[in-house]
Amino acid sequence: MTDTAVLLLSCPDQTGVVATVADFVWRNGGNIIDAEQHTDHTDGVFFQRIEFTLAEFVFARDRLAAAFAPIAERFDMHVDVRYSADRPRLAILASRAPHCLVDLLARWSAGELPADLAVIVSNHPDHADLAGFYGIPFAHLPVESNDGAQELRVRAVLESERVERLVLARYMRILSPEFVDAYPGRIINIHHSFLPAFVGAEPYRQASERGVKVIGATAHYVTADLDEGPIIEQDVTRVSHRHSVEDLARAGRDLEVAVLARAVRADLEHRVLVWGNRTIVFH
Amino acid sequence: MTDTAVLLLSCPDQTGVVATVADFVWRNGGNIIDAEQHTDHTDGVFFQRIEFTLAEFVFARDRLAAAFAPIAERFDMHVDVRYSADRPRLAILASRAPHCLVDLLARWSAGELPADLAVIVSNHPDHADLAGFYGIPFAHLPVESNDGAQELRVRAVLESERVERLVLARYMRILSPEFVDAYPGRIINIHHSFLPAFVGAEPYRQASERGVKVIGATAHYVTADLDEGPIIEQDVTRVSHRHSVEDLARAGRDLEVAVLARAVRADLEHRVLVWGNRTIVFH
Amino acid sequence: MTDTAVLLLSCPDQTGVVATVADFVWRNGGNIIDAEQHTDHTDGVFFQRIEFTLAEFVFARDRLAAAFAPIAERFDMHVDVRYSADRPRLAILASRAPHCLVDLLARWSAGELPADLAVIVSNHPDHADLAGFYGIPFAHLPVESNDGAQELRVRAVLESERVERLVLARYMRILSPEFVDAYPGRIINIHHSFLPAFVGAEPYRQASERGVKVIGATAHYVTADLDEGPIIEQDVTRVSHRHSVEDLARAGRDLEVAVLARAVRADLEHRVLVWGNRTIVFH
Amino acid sequence: MTDTAVLLLSCPDQTGVVATVADFVWRNGGNIIDAEQHTDHTDGVFFQRIEFTLAEFVFARDRLAAAFAPIAERFDMHVDVRYSADRPRLAILASRAPHCLVDLLARWSAGELPADLAVIVSNHPDHADLAGFYGIPFAHLPVESNDGAQELRVRAVLESERVERLVLARYMRILSPEFVDAYPGRIINIHHSFLPAFVGAEPYRQASERGVKVIGATAHYVTADLDEGPIIEQDVTRVSHRHSVEDLARAGRDLEVAVLARAVRADLEHRVLVWGNRTIVFH
């Protein structure tokens, strides 16, 4: 894999942005290997993801931001620079259900997820052996009281492991606003319904009672509002009257696995831009 | 097509039902060409659809109910008898949007919908020519006041045309409880969202604002509770940030057409059993 | 709708293309409203679709090609210029089956297809009334011999109507190489299978005999090799043992309608680039 | 789980079968909890799956066949009796690719697959640790010559482990007819394409070269004809020009995992009937 940089840009919609940015990259030795743009005409906002090779690029990391600053200023642009060589330190938080964790570990092991897996944290001991099989540190942090002590221990582990991004792989604890604020836009959760249908607990029971013919799963960034963060990926599967609540849950597990994996991969590949409560996911 | 009868049965789950019903049909000269059953273990209810040929069947229509009564009584069974030779008189109610109406007419014309199309009713005049093209009476009943006078005129037309079943093909008027009660379980509506997400008005705008990655459509029987009736069919399609509200609406139209057509066909082929607020749709 | 121009570009993969093209458009007063690119790393080819507004663009139509020529030459670029204001004259060719024709007419009537519908041609008389309903000329050109006389009459009609693009909406005649050559890359066909599975006749019968669990439809540009042209769009639907050949055909019709409509729309919106026997379909 | 028996029946289509079989079960104390039937009108064959509880059933296993024999004879019926309490001894054969194996093990461990996992066999050593993690015997049987010696060693292991059913989880060796004959209808393979498209080697490369917009995977019973056995399950996913051969392979892996798991589960739950080269998969 060639080393590349990715610029994730957003600014008020105006002429000249595409040409100016492309010119900046090219003039400074970058070869653009992918560029995608989107204009939200309702809000009048322009978004771009532009990826270019670094082999001949003249600016070192610590100088790129300064070099690009005049363009950013001129277009009133928000700029996020990522490097393919950076592998973020990732934590997976899980409870008892193994399916999402098993899948993420298998994909990580197969090289599908460009991240360093720093630690697996759980309020249950069940997955210690699995973590060990893949050689990942495992922190069993049981909930022993309702005073938030467990969450503080989780945060301490994440900090000591220098974790940068988190995946909640069916982690059944609600995070405090303070926790969420510590990782803004850096926590991905999988909700086991097609949001905004069936928010809250036991969505498969709700789906069964409403008699829906399709069930879904939703991966989203975690914000302080439960089940309300920006949606990264969703998918659905057909069901029928034959599906009991247990059958819905089993069919749903396959969905959860697939949807969470796609969301985590998009995030790690720097393909997601957040705008308000929505995402632009480039391909 | 061979003439057949369809029994739609429901009763408390118990032993002997399948054997007893099959024996009744067979002993009396019916050849079972399709039988499907379902047991709802949560509620303890047994459902069956059994279709058999009438060529050698000994009971005429007016005697079947009486002949089957001892079995129905013994198993505390709800029985609905349908005949393939009966083509219900169907009305389609539409407003301005043509897509569902155009599709239903094309399918009806191609022989896909076993019904007699009695009348097309609309609060707008737009579809008069289309109705004329297919040779269907068209009643333009505009809304001129808020006193329910238009609905009364609609009901008068339906009664004079001896309409038995109704399809709301993007009909933008809310029906009164009295109207709904006059056609219990016999009105099918298409809602342009994946219910229960985005109930109410402008679901595509709601979907755009929530940034969902999938949109849906739902066909359901109409009950007094808006958007809450038993769901017959649902389907979804993937969307992205590229979809404006108008794009969502256009993609949604194709869904609405497909979902409504499948629901109407299932209903007319006597494949739908309603249980509480849910449906069993046999195939 | 703002008037726009679309450049469809392909050239050997090299640095500077994106910046140079964007700069050309911007420097000359065009506002880029959409740009998508793709690099085929296997063949080393770069593709781009770039759409920009014409309101302030300095070059009139007859001067754009000349103005862009130095860039095209420098990058060894193939350039195709389209204008949103140009509505191509379109012919639909159909045989007996109405479903694709009915759907295309309804979409055209709803403004979904940016083309002028010049004529409907058929080897059967069945659709004359339908064409009349939409006010489109209808040419009934029956096949009376095997000497190609009918095809010559079809071509004469297309020429006299100045037809630029053709849609074969389940037209059951094989076109001669001469016919195909007269409209290179401008004829879209719908094949009723998931190509390359089930090439040739009666794909639904073939699918039934092979016992597949999924059936498909494929829209492709027509080339001299039957069923082998570049695929524009495909889709599939699940089936089961319950589907007879007739059921497969009915389920397939809905697919054919949807796939053909999406392909025609992509083509008319200048979103399709052909490369060898493959397509790049931008969104 | 209640202990149940499943009858998988096929016979020439005729009247009285449903009633007679239901009566036999009921009269002898079985409570029918699921019954599905299908008639292939082309071939004139009737199929049924009937599942009933054993708690009050009067016939022990060794007497059921004899008791049912008069009915089987009268209707010229092929009968296959299965018991939910029987967990077949299953072997998984894999090569280097881990994805299907990892998924099957996780599902088996979660209780989704009603079988005893007897052994994992591979021509490579890679998965020894994984097998060990789940406590399954692992046989590494490398291919050291072209004389079929390896296959003989595989068969010896399967026999010594008393294996009854096999899953080829991307096992890259072609089995000899003798091997296949030893497990008739008891070997399930996953082929990484939508059969019958792209038979043979490197289907993702073939798909890329043909420029398809959808790729698939197919699970089928293995017969002596490569890639030609009865299809149990298929599924597809959309792709685009953006997918390189490697991307197609990665997207395809997720499909392979899902399709193989569904096929193995249907087989183990006694829901598959084979008729000629097709399957009836009851739900």
Cis peptide before B196 (omega within 30 of 0): yes
CA separation for the pair B70, B240 (Å, rounded): 58
Whether residue A13 sits in one domain with residue A141: no
Residues of D in contact with B37 (CB under 8 A): 34-35
Instruction: Give contacts of D216 with chain C, Cβ < 8 Å.
Output: 194, 214, 236
Q: In chain A, which residues have pLDDT < 50?
A: none
DSSP secondary structure, A213-233, as one string = SEEEEEEEE--SSTT-SPEEE
The stretch B152-162 carries a mean pLDDT of 98
- CB–CB contact B212 A195 (8 Å): yes
Residues 24-43 of B with CB under 8 A from D: 25-27, 31-37, 39
Do D159 and D173 reside in the same domain of the chain? yes
Same-domain pairing of A217 and A145:
yes
CATH of the domain at D60: 3.30.70.260
Would you state the pLDDT for residue C256?
96
Looking at the structure, tell me whether residues B151 and B249 fall in a common domain. yes
Residues of chain D with pLDDT under 50: none
- CA dist., res. B217 & res. C91, Å (int): 33
> Which of A38, A66, A83 represents a domain boundary (last residue)?
A83
Rounded to whole angstroms, what are the CA distances from D158 to B58, D117, D138, D279?
A: 58, 12, 11, 26
Give me the pLDDT at residue D200, please. Answer: 82
Interface contacts (C, D; CB < 8 Å): 96
DSSP letters, A126-189, are TTHHHHHHTT--EEE-----SSSHHHHHHHHHHHHTT--EEEESS--SPPPHHHHHHSTT-EEE
For C131, residues 6+ apart whose C-beta sits below 8 A from its C-beta are C120, C137, C138
Does D133 touch chain A if contact means CB atoms closer than 8 Å?
Answer: yes
- A152 has a chain D CB within 8 A of its CB: no
Residue of A213, A231, A238, A271 best to disrupt the B interface, most CBs of B under 10 A: A213
Q: Are residues C211 and D231, on separate chains, in Cβ contact within 8 Å? A: yes
| CATH number of the domain within which A226 lies | 3.40.50.170
C175 and C260 inside one domain: yes
DSSP-derived 3-state class of residue B247 = helix
Given a cut of 50, the residues of chain C with pLDDT beneath it are none
pLDDT, residue A1, reads: 66
- Contact (CB<8Å) B281/A241: yes
Domain end point (choices D53, D83, D113): D83
pLDDT at residue D1, as a whole number: 66
Q: Which helix (H) or strand (E) is B169 found in, with range?
A: none
Point out which residues pair with B166 in neighbouring strands: B91, B187
Four-CA torsion B114, B116, B118, B120, nearest 10 degrees: 30
If asked whether residues A110 and A246 sit together in one domain, one would say yes
pTM of the full structure: 0.95
Interval B223-262: pLDDT, tens:
988 788 999 999 999 999 999 999 999 999 999 999 999 9
Q: Let me know whether D66 and D206 are in one domain.
A: no
3-state secondary structure at position A236: strand
Say what the alpha-carbon torsion angle B91, B96, B99, B104 is, to the nearest 10 degrees: 10
Distance CA C8, CA C270 (A): 8
pLDDT score for A196? 87
Say yes or no for a CB contact (<8 Å) between C283 and B102.
no
What are the Cα distances from residue A191, in Å, to A168, A221, A223, B143, C44? 10, 11, 13, 44, 41
Do C55 and C139 share a domain, yes or no?
A: no
Q: Out of C236, C244, C281, whose CB is closest to D241?
A: C281
Smallest CA–CA distance, residue A223 to chain B, in Å, is: 14
Q: Are C99 and B106 inside 8 Å of each other by CB?
A: yes
- Residues C46 and C60 grouped into a single domain: yes
Q: Is there a contact between C244 and C227 (Cβ–Cβ < 8 Å)?
A: no
Average the pLDDT over B209-229 and give the result: 92
Amino acid at D187: I
- Give the relative orientation of helices A203-210 and A245-268 as an angle to the nearest 10 degrees: 130
Active site residue C235: no
**pLDDT > 90? residue B197:** no
Rounded to an integer, what is the distance from CA C230 to the centroid of its chain?
Answer: 10
Task: Name the domain count of chain B.
Answer: 2
Across B209-228, b (16+ Cβ under 10 Å) vs e yields ebbbbbbbbbbbbbbeeebe
pLDDT of residue B119: 98
Contact B110 C99 (CB under 8 A): yes
Distance CA A200, CA A226 (A): 8
How many whole angstroms separate alpha carbon A215 and alpha carbon A240? 10
Torsional sign, CA B93, B99, B100, B104: positive
Q: Specify the DSSP class assigned to residue B95.
A: -
The catalytic position among B86, B227, B235, B247 is B227
Q: A232 to chain B: which residues are within 8 Å by CB?
A: 213
Q: Are residues B23 and B131 both part of a single domain? A: no
Residue linked to tokens 């069936």: A198
- C-beta separation of D123 from D141 below 8 A: yes
Q: Neighbouring chains of B at 3+ CB pairs within 8 Å?
A: A, C, D
Q: Which of A83, A112, A134 is the last residue of a domain?
A: A83
Check whether residue D27 and residue D144 sit in a common domain. no
What range does the domain containing C147 cover? 89-281
Q: What is the pLDDT of residues B29-74, one digit of tens each?
A: 999 988 999 999 889 999 999 999 999 999 998 899 899 999 999 9
In this predicted structure, what is the pLDDT of residue B225?
Answer: 86
* pLDDT at residue D201, as a whole number: 85
- Give yes or no for D18 touching B (CB within 8 A): yes
Distance from CA of B199 to the nearest CA of D (A): 30
pLDDT of residue C226: 79
| pLDDT at position B241 | 93
Rounded CA-CA distance A151/D114 in Å is: 39
CA-nearest of A29, A23, A30, A36 to A5 is: A30
- Kindly report, residue by residue over D34-54, the tens digit of the pLDDT: 899 999 988 999 999 999 999
CA distance C96 to B272: 33
Q: Residue D107: closest CA among chain A residues belongs to which residue?
A: A99
Alpha-carbon gap, residue C269 to D153, rounded angstroms: 60
Identify the three-state secondary structure at position D202.
Answer: coil
Residue environment code for D211-229, b if the CB has 16+ CB neighbours within 10 A, otherwise e? bbbbbbbbbbbbbeeebeb
Q: Per the structure block, which two tokens stand in for B136?
A: 């269907």
Residues C79 and C98 in one domain: no
* AA letter at B94: A
